[in-house]
Amino acid sequence: MINVTIVPVLEDNYAYLLEADNGETAIVDPGESGPVIVALGDKDLNLDYILNTHHHSDHIAGNRDLKNAYNAKLAGPAKDSHRIADLDIELDESSVFEFGGEQAQIFETPGHTTGGICIYFPISKIIFTGDTIFSLGCGRLFEGTPEQMWASFQKIMALPDDTKLYCGHEYTQGGARFCLTVEPDNPDLKARAEEVNALREEEKPTLPSTIGIEKKTNVFLRAGSADRFAEIRKLRDNF
Ligand code: ZN
Ligand code: FE
**Over the stretch 12-69, which tens digit does the pLDDT of each residue have?**
999 999 999 999 999 999 999 999 999 999 999 999 999 999 999 999 999 999 999 9
Domains of the chain, residue spans: 2-169
Question: Distance (Å, rounded) from C-alpha 87 to C-alpha 222?
Answer: 35
Give SS3 for 106: strand
**Over the stretch 166-190, which tens digit does the pLDDT of each residue have?**
999 999 999 999 999 999 999 999 9
**Over the stretch 119-175, which tens digit does the pLDDT of each residue have?**
999 999 999 999 999 999 999 999 999 999 999 999 999 999 999 999 999 999 999
Question: Distance (Å, rounded) from C-alpha 8 to C-alpha 170?
Answer: 9
Question: Distance (Å, rounded) from C-alpha 219 to C-alpha 236?
Answer: 10
Strands 102-108 and 133-134: unpaired
Q: What does the pLDDT average to over 210-224?
A: 98
Ligand 2 center to 11 CA (angstroms)? 10
Which residue type occupies 57? S
Helices within the chain (DSSP H only): 34-42, 57-60, 63-70, 146-157, 172-182, 187-201, 211-217, 226-237
With bands split at pLDDT 50, 70 and 90, how would you rate the model's confidence at 199? Answer: very high
Q: Is 131 designated active site?
A: yes
Q: What does the pLDDT average to over 96-102?
A: 95
Ligand 2 center to 82 CA (angstroms)? 19
Q: What does the pLDDT average to over 183-201?
A: 98
| Residues 6+ away with beta carbon under 8 Å from 33 | 61, 62, 64, 65, 66, 69
Question: Distance (Å, rounded) from C-alpha 138 to C-alpha 234?
Answer: 12
Ligand 1 center to 123 CA (angstroms)? 27
- Give the pLDDT score at 142: 98
**What global pTM score does this model have?**
0.98
Q: What does the pLDDT average to over 74-95?
A: 97
CATH, domain range 2-169: 3.60.15.10
- Evaluate whether 131 touches 112 at the Cβ level (below 8 Å): yes
Q: 110: how many CB neighbours lie within 10 A of its CB?
A: 22
Q: Is 169 designated active site?
A: yes
